[in-house]
Chain A
Amino acid sequence: MSKQIVLPFGPQHPVLPEPIHLDLVLEDERVIEAVPSIGYVHRGLEKLVEKRDYKDYVFIAERICGICSFIHSATYCHAVETVMEVEVPRRAEYLRTIWSEYSRLHSHLLWLGCFADSMGYENLFMNSWRLREKILDVLERTTGGRVIQGVCRVGGVSRDIPPEELARMSRELAGLRPELRELTRVFEEDITVQTRTKRIGLLPKDAAWDLGAVGPVCRGSGISSDMRSTGYAAYDDLDFKPVVKSDGDCYARCLVRAEEMFSSISLIEKAIDRIPGGDVLVPVKGNPSGEFYARAEQPRGEVIHYVKANGKKNLQRHRVRTPTLANVPALVKMLAGCELADVPVIVLTIDPCIGCMER
């Protein structure tokens, strides 16, 4: 038996978009154990809720993450609205759903690019990000921001999408589908991708359940857990079905995300078809009092926004449980026993978003 060494991985590493540190205990090239440590980008955003008006805090909640920003703000608003018993206009809920799904599309395309990059497939990385640009254009046209949309308000959304713009979005989505198919075909069939991902980073179904994995990580292991099935916002109208794969390896997680993009497109198309007319914002008066745990499905998994208020304009507590934090125990399990060269690929398959994780 050879000697064990500890190899620091991160916080600065070419494959990591954000700082996370892993201590890898190695025996030759094999990882025996991985110990994550975080805390490089802790900003204390949750504490800031005690200083800000609960309505202005939407903008701060949105900036918890730079990728799944819209869903953060929508979930925060959902939590506050439930506490205040505000009835959000149905059209606003549909618009939130449409923008949420666009966020998911662009986040998954970003992830596919980063994932290709982590196995050294630069060309695929650029192609993914080129397609992502089309999604960002739609988001910028309809909300004014590419990644930070800033349209969610307590009581609805601040901006409506006119019918002609909805028709244009629908046309563009139809054109996007073949391009996406061309891109995902590479992830499904290419020898480079398959040799780097198949049977690597295994997470069996019962381990995924025990470790509390969420999002594509648990759906890649055969657990059909998707918060969109709870039917928040307009998802109850859109016949949503989660994408589930049962292999539990990096390849399965990659396919889950690739297929979710197509399910997002059909969700948006259905939402555009069925969107009702009416107002998009109701005036909200008074201050919230009470508590609520709101859950939503982000591109990375289930997010929890907990708000607790006592009738003042500043909330008492806002707590966010982000999907990356829930996926860290699963990551530790996946890394044990893998080869050192596979560590970047495995770390990327949980889609780590450290800014989210530490708030």
Chain B
Amino acid sequence: MIKKAQSFQALSPAELIQSVQTCHDEGYRLVQISCTHDGDNYELTYSFDRDLALSHLRIRIPPETAIPSISRIYLAAFVYENEIADLFGIPITGIAIDYKGTFIRTKIPHPFGSPQVVKAGSKTEERDE
């Protein structure tokens, strides 16, 4: 098994657009955007690929903070950004195709953004098919 190193570069939200634009100009492909909890804050990772090596840009934001969309640079970002906006409730401004919360329609709004209420003694809450 060949293991390739994965580099993370931490950024402030203000530097995001500039760095993504640099990646675009250098011929990187947008692979994905993911969002995780980091204590009370959110951690967004933008992954780019060039020559089969991944590199990541990472920003940390407090909840309810609006971040700018990168879909004007990479149109493909609109699916990931709508997904994050719907599942985590992070407001993202200026998405090229903005679904305004209807991309993934869920019964509970922003199900990944908040800890879910779990009924005592039953693990069935998650399976709301």
In the assembled complex, the CB of A228 is this many whole angstroms from the nearest CB of chain B, namely 10
In the assembled complex, the CB of B102 is this many whole angstroms from the nearest CB of chain A, namely 7
Within 8 Å CB of B36, what residues of A? Answer: 308, 316-317, 319
Binds A, one of B13-21, B61-69, B71-79: B71-79
The one of B54, B97, B123, B128 in contact with A295, judged by C-beta atoms closer than 8 angstroms, is B54
Instruction: Verify B1–A46 contact, CB threshold 8 A.
Output: no
Instruction: Verify A42–B102 contact, CB threshold 8 A.
Output: no
Instruction: Verify B76–A211 contact, CB threshold 8 A.
Output: yes
The one of A209, A233, A293, A306 in contact with B1, judged by C-beta atoms closer than 8 angstroms, is A233
Binds B, one of A152-160, A279-287, A320-328: A320-328
Instruction: Verify A293–B2 contact, CB threshold 8 A.
Output: no
Q: Which chain B residues (77-129) contact chain A, with CB distance < 8 Å?
A: 78-80, 83, 86, 97, 99, 102-106, 111-112, 116, 123, 126-129
- Residue interface mask A33-59, B partner, CB < 8 A = 1: 001011100111011100100000000
Instruction: Verify A37–B102 contact, CB threshold 8 A.
Output: yes
Within 8 Å CB of B102, what residues of A? Answer: 37, 39
Instruction: Verify A329–B112 contact, CB threshold 8 A.
Output: no
| B78: nearest chain-A partner, CB-CB | A329
CA distance A37 to B75 in the complex (A): 16
Instruction: Verify A293–B52 contact, CB threshold 8 A.
Output: no
- Count how many chain A residues have C-beta atoms less than 8 Å from C-beta atoms of the other chain: 42
| B99: nearest chain-A partner, CB-CB | A37
The one of A35, A48, A211, A293 in contact with B75, judged by C-beta atoms closer than 8 angstroms, is A211
In the assembled complex, the CB of B59 is this many whole angstroms from the nearest CB of chain A, namely 16
Query: B57 within 8 Å of A by Cβ?
Result: no
CA distance A231 to B103 in the complex (A): 35
The one of B47, B52, B97, B112 in contact with A304, judged by C-beta atoms closer than 8 angstroms, is B47
Query: A210 within 8 Å of B by Cβ?
Result: yes
In the assembled complex, the CB of A242 is this many whole angstroms from the nearest CB of chain B, namely 11
Within 8 Å CB of B1, what residues of A? Answer: 88, 93, 231-233, 236
Within 8 Å CB of B56, what residues of A? Answer: 293
Instruction: Verify B74–A212 contact, CB threshold 8 A.
Output: yes
Within 8 Å CB of B22, what residues of A? Answer: none
The one of B32, B99, B126 in contact with A326, judged by C-beta atoms closer than 8 angstroms, is B32
Query: B29 within 8 Å of A by Cβ?
Result: yes
Query: A12 within 8 Å of B by Cβ?
Result: no
Query: A292 within 8 Å of B by Cβ?
Result: yes
- Supposing A39-B104, A321-B32 touch, asked if A44 and B76 sit within 8 A by C-beta, the answer is no
In the assembled complex, the CB of B43 is this many whole angstroms from the nearest CB of chain A, namely 9
Q: Which chain A residues (66-125) contact chain B, with CB distance < 8 Å?
A: 82, 88, 93
User: Which applies to chain A's interface (DSSP): helix, strand, loop or mixed?
Assistant: mixed
In the assembled complex, the CB of B72 is this many whole angstroms from the nearest CB of chain A, namely 12
In the assembled complex, the CB of B26 is this many whole angstroms from the nearest CB of chain A, namely 13
Within 8 Å CB of A289, what residues of B? Answer: none
Instruction: Verify A321–B34 contact, CB threshold 8 A.
Output: yes
CA distance A233 to B129 in the complex (A): 34
Query: B12 within 8 Å of A by Cβ?
Result: no
Within 8 Å CB of A236, what residues of B? Answer: 1-2
The one of A51, A82, A230, A233 in contact with B126, judged by C-beta atoms closer than 8 angstroms, is A51
| B118: nearest chain-A partner, CB-CB | A51
- Residue interface mask A13-28, B partner, CB < 8 A = 1: 0000000000000000
CA distance A39 to B101 in the complex (A): 11
Query: A358 within 8 Å of B by Cβ?
Result: yes
Instruction: Verify B103–A319 contact, CB threshold 8 A.
Output: no
CA distance A302 to B129 in the complex (A): 27
Instruction: Verify B34–A319 contact, CB threshold 8 A.
Output: yes
The one of B32, B80, B112 in contact with A47, judged by C-beta atoms closer than 8 angstroms, is B112
Given contacts A37-B103, A325-B79, 17 further A-B pairs with CB under 8 A are A37-B99, A42-B106, A44-B112, A44-B128, A47-B126, A48-B127, A93-B1, A227-B52, A229-B52, A230-B2, A293-B54, A293-B56, A304-B31, A306-B34, A317-B37, A321-B34, A326-B31
A-B CB contact pairs (8 Å), 23 listed: A37-B99, A37-B102, A38-B103, A44-B106, A44-B112, A44-B128, A46-B112, A47-B126, A51-B123, A93-B1, A209-B29, A211-B75, A212-B31, A230-B52, A231-B1, A293-B6, A302-B31, A304-B32, A306-B45, A317-B36, A321-B31, A325-B79, A326-B76
Closest 4 CB pairs of A and B: A212-B76, A321-B32, A39-B105, A231-B2
